[in-house]
Amino acid sequence: MVLILLGMVGAATWLSTRPQDQPFVVSGFVEADRARVGSRVGGRVAEVMVHEGQQVSAGETLYRLEAFDLDRQLAEAEAQAAAAEAELQRLTEGFRPEEVAQAQAARDRARTVLERRTAGPRSQEVSIAREQLRQSQATLELARLERDRIIPLVREQSMSQLELDRAEKQVVSADAGVAIARQQLALLEEGTRKEEIAEAAAQLAEAEALLKLRQAGTRASEIAAAEARLRAARAHVDAIRERLAELVVRAPQASVVEAIDLRPGDLVAPNAPTVNLLLTESLYVRAFVPEARLDRVRIGLKVPVALDALPGQRVEAVVTYVSSQAEFTPRNVQTPEERSKQVFRVKLSLTNPPGEVRAGMLGDVRFDEATQ
């Protein structure tokens, strides 16, 4: 009986001291991710809307920079984009019907000129020139007769020398008229010069080429080039708009302003962090689990957390990270286990923390109350 009693006492002692039967509770502390925000363009501070310790919501303005000349650059870029778009539309639509009809009329006119020069003078024009030559010759003959009649009269002093001079001039004028008429007849009989025909042919070819160009419309390469210019102009507009948007620095998510040291008039360098934010939407608990209990911790496990600042409440958390390397127990870790053993760092994200939860709070992570 004594042996039986000793065995029962030993078994009870062994069962009561097993690690897995002890409460699985580790201490942890609340942390939050931090963000250092600023402007990618930089500039002069126009207005500061927040102060240190202030809670801000996602998208809330932290501070604003002066626009300087970006507004004028945007207006110029938008005008260039509008011009590029109009040019693309013009090339896409092609030539207007009135422009094609104009080219057709120019072609027909050039063809008529070539046909007229190729055909040469008409027979009626040659006949008219001959008759004009005979008429000029008759006028010359009449002027000579009048001069010959006046010469003896002048000798007899029946007529003055002035009358004779006038008759001489009429002979000279009539003689010139005959020469002109003879040359005009020769030109008509010779026909159009080869150079004039070649010139008319070249003008016709030019007119036909212009007509074909307008009938064919715009080339695909010209449209592609216009489209490329339009894309470049629109990209330039978008780039300036992004720069304008960077003049207003906003909070990326709900957070608390940890540090900001800006005043209106300060100069901010491009891509320089200017505001430190504590992101309250990404609160998590950092804890350390002893190696002997690591088999009971896995990613996705739902674990309640009892925070010292919220007595009687449980904050739900989910295991999102388990370290793959062991660490020695830090000084601030308090567990019911032996502190000299190695531990593994665990991160538990708070799924729906109350508004009172702040970074830096301490609490107990109740792994013994975990659920799947």
Q: Domain segments of the chain: what residues?
A: 19-64+259-369, 97-216
Task: Please say if the pLDDT value at position 106 is more than 50.
Answer: yes
Q: What is the pLDDT confidence band of residue 302, given thresholds at 50, 70 and 90?
A: very high
Average pLDDT over residues 208-237: 89
Instruction: Give dist(CA 63, CA 273) in Å, integer.
Output: 13
Closest among 284, 241, 293, 249 to 60, alpha carbons compared: 249
pLDDT (0 to 100) of residue 227: 93
Higher pLDDT, 74 or 121: 74
Average pLDDT over residues 38-50: 93
Average pLDDT over residues 26-37: 91
267-268 and 248-250 strand pairing: unpaired
211 secondary structure, DSSP code? H
Instruction: Give dist(CA 210, CA 202) in Å, integer.
Output: 12
Task: Please say if the pLDDT value at position 143 is more than 50.
Answer: yes
Average pLDDT over residues 61-67: 94
Q: What is the pLDDT confidence band of residue 192, given thresholds at 50, 70 and 90?
A: confident
Instruction: Give dist(CA 360, CA 364) in Å, integer.
Output: 13
124-128, 181-185, 336-340: the lowest-pLDDT one: 336-340
Average pLDDT over residues 205-222: 85
3-state helix, strand, coil in the chain (%, to 5): 50, 25, 25
Give the class (CATH, top level) of 19-64+259-369: mainly beta
Instruction: Give dist(CA 330, CA 314) in Å, integer.
Output: 25
| Token pair recorded at residue 299 | 């990613």
Whole-model pTM? 0.55
CA angle 148, 153, 158 (to 5 degrees): 155
Instruction: Give dist(CA 364, CA 182) in Å, integer.
Output: 129
Instruction: Give dist(CA 174, CA 74) in Å, integer.
Output: 80
| Token pair recorded at residue 252 | 């990326």
Q: Which residues pair with 31 in a beta bridge?
A: 284
Q: Highest mean pLDDT range out of 57-66, 178-187, 352-361? A: 57-66
Task: Enumerate long-range contacts of 182-191, CB under 8 Å, 24 or more apart.
Answer: 182/133, 182/136, 184/129, 184/132, 184/133, 185/126, 185/129, 185/130, 185/132, 185/133, 188/121, 188/125, 188/126, 188/129, 189/121, 189/126, 191/120, 191/121
pLDDT (0 to 100) of residue 14: 46
Collect all residues with Cβ–Cβ distance below 8 Å to 240 and sequence separation of at least 6.
70, 73, 74, 77
CA angle 64, 70, 76 (to 5 degrees): 155
- High-pLDDT (> 90) share of the chain, %: 43
Q: Highest mean pLDDT range out of 88-97, 270-279, 331-340? A: 270-279
Mean pLDDT of the chain: 86
Task: Please say if the pLDDT value at position 190 is more than 80.
Answer: no
Instruction: Give dist(CA 266, CA 64) in Å, integer.
Output: 11
Task: Please say if the pLDDT value at position 352 is more than 60.
Answer: yes
Q: Which residues pair with 56 in a beta bridge?
A: 255
Asked whether 79 and 304 are in contact (CB, 8 A), the reply is no
Summary count for the chain: helices (H), strands (E): 7, 13
